[in-house]
Amino acid sequence: MSAEYLLPKDGRGILRPFLIVCEGMSDARFVCSLLEHKGITTCNVGCPSREGLGGGSGLDAIPNYLLGIQGITRGKETLRGILIMIDANTNPTQRFSSMKKALLAAEFPAPTKAFTVEGAPFRVAIFLIPREGENGTLDGLLLEAALKKTPRMRLCLDNFCDCTSAVKSWTQNQQSKMRLSALVAASCQNNPWASAAIIWSEKGNPVPIESECFNHIGEFLMTFVGP
Amino acid sequence: MSLATEQEYCAALTYEERGYLMIEKLRIENFRCFKSVSIEKLRRVNIIVGKNASGKTVLLESIKLGLDGLPDKLPWLNQLRNMPMFLPQNPTQEQFQSPLVDLFHLFESQGEIVISIEDSQHRISKVRVHFDPSKATTIQPQVGFQLPQMVPSAPTTTIIPLAFDRSDFQGRKDTLLVTLNPQGLLFFQPGKPMGIVSGLISILYFGGPGENATILSQLDIEKRSEEVKQAIRRHFPFISDVTSETPAPGMGIVYADLPSLPRKIPLSLLSGGISRLFTMILCIIQYKGGAVLVDEIENGIYFEQYPMVWKTLVDLANHYDTQLFITTHSLECLRGSLDTIKANEGDFLLLRIEKEDGSSKITPIEAKFIEAAIEQGFDVR
């Protein structure tokens, strides 16, 4: 069960040597599923969430989340590396810089560039989704994987977008999110309102975790946890 | 740079700019579950967490022992753990040592316990506790209340006393002993404490009989009791006043005045939790410039009070330069400290104690990390 990868908040502390920090639960669940698919068992996955006392959620809360990781008192000596995996969005350079700064502020080492695993014995890395040299988001990548599996849906989604007057003016990222949501809603009969955070356990999930669209992320994860 | 509020000003103070700390560094060697630990940069408020039997209370005991350096505190410490220090009259050396070896790590009484404390002015106080053969005394055993000369044929016993070699912050040195008196009973040589430290405020002890009343009377005389009364009223608006009364000769008791009641009521009868909080507040003022030790702060305090309790204690501790060492098992209580930690980040340190292979180790964690961990919903205990 991929949820077992999630970093527990209940006092068990850090249980696995590597931590992957994501922006939110949708991204975290995707990484959990990919880790499970790849058979990688040495990682915990975590993200800021609203469960705490005002720590915030999303990308802006990652600096606070990293500080919080230093505040986990149990099992801290287990931790051997941190990988931050976030959307590149429209400015990967700026996103890398802000995450590097956040790592340093939380007194972790920081990598000198994205997409490289640096540091010994403590490893750090920052991976910007979708891949090196590209802007974009995880939603875009998930959509890419879903459409690769069922290409005929691309035209349907395009038509759907054409039918709505407002969507055309949305950003590429917003459109990707809308298209993915529409595809999920049309695929998951038992839970048409399933979000990207829970599609991995939904019957009819249109995004195949085994998609070659995720191979480069899988390979990076293997490198990160490798010897 | 202008600082808008006092709170912001306090938060902006560097570690060195803060007031006097009696314990800035603490080193413990060979005491109970601690083989060897050293903690630096202790703060105004030091919160101690860890599992049962990890050594939280022992850390408080070591501070008590290190700052008092008094042999007669040993039975008191044992009593707090519901473990009386009992010896038969005219004990053998083995019997004499028996309740004292518990003090030594892994009961290895041939070693020595060292508790060394450095204050924020870099002065060092140190107590070294060891069985000292050079101070061995020979005791003529006695039976009942007979004088020694009445049992001339009884064999003598040689007792190797437990020595407390002390060196205080001013560099003054002396040695106090735990030995036997001529009647063959345990004798704790009295002396002056080396530093300023409260008793260990716990669920079993929150001010001895009359102790709180005496302190409150003293503060009243010095016109300093209003701060205590205000704090109690702030937390418990149904109490209009707390006073020290003498219902019988020689019996001082703290009473609470509740407008809803026709007569005053002893505070300890009103509520154990209020009584404990009252003791903490009194101790912070009474042990000004020293250390106040609180075991399991959450006991008896309603959860809604936690944020205000932390604020009250920290404000007073900062005002009186008193250091707090507080253990807790309660996540709710720790979460209740969040606002006070945020306003006084440089004043907090979390000490997590874990036991490994029979010895306890202490990991200090900075307030900024604890603050974020609480905000992110992590369990920081």
Q: How far is B34 from chain A (nearest CA, A)?
A: 19
> Based on the domain organization, do A100 and A143 belong to the same domain?
no
Domain range holding A181?
A: 138-207
Cα distance from N-terminal residue to C-terminal residue, chain B: 37
Whose structure tokens read 């915030």?
A56
Residue A65 touches partner B, C-beta closer than 8 Å: yes
C-alpha–C-alpha distance, residues A184 and A199, integer Å = 8
Q: List chain B residues with CB under 8 Å of A76.
A: 363
CB B372 to CB A72 under 8 A? no
The predicted structure's pLDDT at residue B13: 46
Indicate if A46 and A62 belong to the same structural domain: yes
- A193 and A220 part of one domain: no
Residues A119 and A194 in one domain: no
* Per-residue model confidence (pLDDT) at position B91: 85
Strands A123-129 and A81-87: parallel
Query: Of the spans A160-169, B37-46, B131-140, B266-275, which averages the highest pLDDT?
Result: B37-46
Mean pLDDT over all residues of chain B?
Answer: 88
pLDDT for residue B272 is more than 90: no
Pairwise CB contact (< 8 Å): A70 & B372: yes
Tokens 């070294």 locate to B128
Query: Does the pLDDT of residue B242 top 50, yes or no?
Result: yes
Residues A124 and A193 in one domain: no
Asked whether B330 and B295 are in contact (CB, 8 A), the reply is no
**Residue A68 forms contact with B (CB below 8 Å):** yes
**What pLDDT sits at residue B142?**
64
Residue B208 has pLDDT above 80, yes or no: no
Residue spans per domain, chain B? 207-271
At residue A198, the pLDDT reads 76
Q: Are residues A158 and A115 in the same domain?
A: no
In 3D, which of B68, B177, B55 has the Cα closest to residue B127? B68
Say how many domains are in chain A: 2
pLDDT in tens, A29-76: 999 999 999 999 999 999 998 766 776 778 999 999 999 999 987 888
Residue A141 has pLDDT above 60, yes or no: yes
Whole-number pLDDT of residue B273: 86
What is the DSSP-derived secondary structure letter of residue B45? E
User: Do A93 and A142 share a structural domain?
Assistant: no
Nearest chain B CA: its distance from A13 CA (Å): 8
Yes or no, beta carbons of B372 and A65 under 8 Å apart? yes
Quick one: pLDDT at residue B9?
43
Asked which of A11-20, A186-195, B214-223 is least confident by mean pLDDT, the reply is A186-195
Residue A157: its H or E element: helix A152-163
Cβ-nearest to A65 among B366, B368, B376: B376
Question: Chain A 191-220, CB below 8 Å of chain B: which residues?
Answer: none
Q: Tell me the β-bridge partners of B124.
A: B118
Judge whether residue B16 has pLDDT over 60.
no
B346-363 tens-digit pLDDT: 999 999 999 988 899 999
Look up the pTM and report it. 0.87
Please give the share of chain A, as a percent, with pLDDT higher than 70. Answer: 98
| ipTM of the complex in this document | 0.88
- Lowest mean pLDDT of A134-148, B1-15, B41-55, name the range: B1-15
